[in-house]
Amino acid sequence: MARTRRKKFVVGRPMRGGWTPFAMRAAVLGLAPALLVGGTVGVVVATRSAGPDVAETVAADAPYTLTGYGHGHGRGMGQWGAYGYAKQGWTAERILGYYYGGTTLEALGDKAIGVRLMGLDGKGLDVFSDSPMGVAGRTVAPGEAAHLTAAPGGGATVVVTRGCDGEVLWQESTAHPWVDPVDLGPDRPANEHLKLCGGGAPFRGSLGVALEGDAPRVVNHVGMEDYLLGVVPAESRAEWADTGGAEALRAQAVAARSYAAAESRYAYAETCDTQDCQVYGGSSKENPKTTEAVRSTAGKVLTKEGKPVSAEFSASTGGYSAGGAFGAVEDLGDTESPNHKWTQTLTAGEIATAFGVGELHSIEVTSRNNLGPDGGRVTGLRVAGSTGTKEVTGDEARTKLGLKSDWFTITEGVGPAAPPPASALAAPGVDNADPTGAVEPTDIERKYAELGGHLGVLGAPVGPELAMPDEAGRFRMYTHGAIVWTKITGAQVLDASVLTAKLPGLGS
């Protein structure tokens, strides 16, 4: 294991006393009831009884291991979790109801959607088709190309050439800045799709140009169902249909339709074609398996109060969704995910540079949401360095450090790799404290078993094993007391009489 080299700088005054073992245990346990009722409590566990307050600068090449769960923001449906549940026999409707609590499945009327093609930002439109196209009230034959440049006021200049780079055949201005396929109906054959000069995906529907201020934009105007034929295979895995996951694809189609129906981002288009909105690949990635998922759920959207909801989804929740617009739920289906648990190693220099704090002194998690293993998702992180201290949210840390999610722990040195995903799933509602498939009990679980489990002096658990906000240790509450674990004390038992006598504020 790599050693962490530090340069020490003495600042401030020496500490004038230490914590007794009992005082430390009492302070650690004192936060537990507050956490269980949603309070925000910080606690510091002293690791030395005396000595100067020392600020340490970590060597730039010293490694840190970040161990985490999930991939993406974790809000709404977890795609791998949906796949896991589909393999257990859940229907799309049950999957959607589980992740998007409080919604109703309703029918959406005929709707078209404008999609900003962000890869063409700042450019004009150069397009052709294997079938005739319509532009400026005229027909463009196969073998000819139309070139549109957005004009102020909403129109466009049109130049038609022989091939994409050949001679100019005609040109004019138009108030209708669109190139239309030979037939504007839904589900048209591939030879009628519009294609971009220079390669790229073909598109169903029409292609047009607009201005956002002075910036040129290219837009695909397409029917909702045709649009989804290009979204679902880009956002999920068509091959899941071959391994028991067809219902996950159907759930994905409904979630994507709901998300798109709720979008209204621009004056000239409702949504975009990247991960900032939903990934959309035109018609090039369409797959019969995802097409079936779209068609079998045609028009169905999730609503609240009669309006489509923005049904966010992410690749992997890590075992617990993040909450937000939809309540957080345990996601046992996520054990199928290759990113159910992951590790990433960064150097102290990389961490310090990401946060702009000079040379790194320390990095610590200050708060979590207490949902899932290791205390759940990070909600607060403090990074201190030679030029300052930054306090950020877990999501901000995820972005700055390039992590897969905001659910992670940090340890010095190079840690072991994450285990592979489990092949088996526990049934929903069954206690599955370690969804990675490992069976090694925690120190708290060992101590609880030594005391006779639920038949012993502590009685039954009244909550999950949780991490302390400052990462100093872990605790679990039981009917008649608690077990607290720290690196200093190991697993310690406090029964109800101790809680009442030593910490009277905890009594009933």
User: What are 410's strand-pairing partners?
Assistant: 66
Task: Say how far apart CA 110 and CA 223 lie, in whole Å.
Answer: 8
Helix intervals (H) in 111-223 = none
Task: Say how far apart CA 471 and CA 476 lie, in whole Å.
Answer: 14
This prediction's pTM: 0.73
Task: Say how far apart CA 475 and CA 455 lie, in whole Å.
Answer: 19
486 contacts 472 by C-beta, under 8 angstroms = yes
Provide CB contacts within 8 A for 356, sequence distance 6+: 387, 388, 390
Task: Say how far apart CA 175 and CA 156 lie, in whole Å.
Answer: 6
SS (H, E, C) 225-262: HHHHHHHHHHHCCHHHHHHCCHHHHHHHHHHHHHHHHH
Count of helix runs (H) and strand runs (E) in the chain:
10, 29
Q: State residue 460's pLDDT score.
A: 76
* Tokens coding 494: 């406090």
Task: Say how far apart CA 296 and CA 453 lie, in whole Å.
Answer: 49
Tell me the torsion sign for CA atoms 265, 267, 271, 276: negative
- Judged by DSSP in three states, 482 sits in strand
Task: Say how far apart CA 417 and CA 268 lie, in whole Å.
Answer: 47
410 contacts 66 by C-beta, under 8 angstroms = yes
- Judged by DSSP in three states, 53 sits in strand
End-to-end CA distance of the chain: 48
301 contacts 103 by C-beta, under 8 angstroms = no
Task: Say how far apart CA 310 and CA 352 lie, in whole Å.
Answer: 36
> Order of strands across the sheet with 300-304?
104-107, 300-304, 307-308
361 contacts 383 by C-beta, under 8 angstroms = no
SS (H, E, C) 284-318: CCCCHHHHHHHHHCCCEEEEECCEECCCCEECECC
Alpha-carbon separation of residue 483 from 27, 38, 46, 333, 507 (angstroms): 13, 19, 19, 30, 17
Tell me the torsion sign for CA atoms 191, 272, 219, 307: positive
Element (H, E) at 348: helix 348-355
Q: State residue 421's pLDDT score.
A: 61
* Tokens coding 334: 């996520």
Q: Name the pairing type of β-strands 481-486 and 473-478.
A: antiparallel
User: What are 380's strand-pairing partners?
Assistant: 367
Task: Say how far apart CA 80 and CA 337 lie, in whole Å.
Answer: 5
User: What are 112's strand-pairing partners?
Assistant: 223
Identify which of 106, 73, 74, 80 has the alpha carbon closest to the alpha carbon of residue 95. Answer: 80
SS (H, E, C) 494-507: EEHHHHHHHCHHHC
Q: Name the pairing type of β-strands 206-212 and 77-78.
A: unpaired
User: What are 302's strand-pairing partners?
Assistant: 105
Element (H, E) at 98: helix 92-99
Q: State residue 53's pLDDT score.
A: 55
Length of the chain: 508
Task: Say how far apart CA 124 and CA 173 lie, in whole Å.
Answer: 14
> Order of strands across the sheet with 466-467?
466-467, 473-478, 481-486, 490-495
User: Could you say which DSSP state residue 418 is in?
Assistant: P
71 contacts 322 by C-beta, under 8 angstroms = no
User: Could you say which DSSP state residue 421 is in?
Assistant: P
Amino acid at residue number 54: V
What pLDDT tens digit does each residue of the chain (508 aa) get? 444 445 433 333 223 233 333 333 334 444 444 433 333 333 332 333 334 555 678 999 999 999 999 999 999 999 999 999 999 999 999 999 999 999 999 999 889 999 999 999 999 999 999 999 999 999 999 999 999 999 998 999 999 999 999 999 999 999 999 999 999 999 999 999 999 999 878 999 999 999 999 999 999 999 999 999 999 999 999 999 999 999 999 999 999 999 999 999 999 999 999 999 999 999 999 999 999 999 999 999 999 999 999 999 999 999 999 999 999 999 999 999 999 999 999 999 999 999 999 999 999 999 999 999 999 999 999 999 999 999 999 999 999 999 999 999 999 988 776 666 654 343 333 233 333 333 357 888 888 888 877 777 888 777 667 777 556 788 888 888 889 988 888 899 886 555 445 444 444 4
Q: State residue 452's pLDDT score.
A: 79
User: Could you say which DSSP state residue 423 is in?
Assistant: S
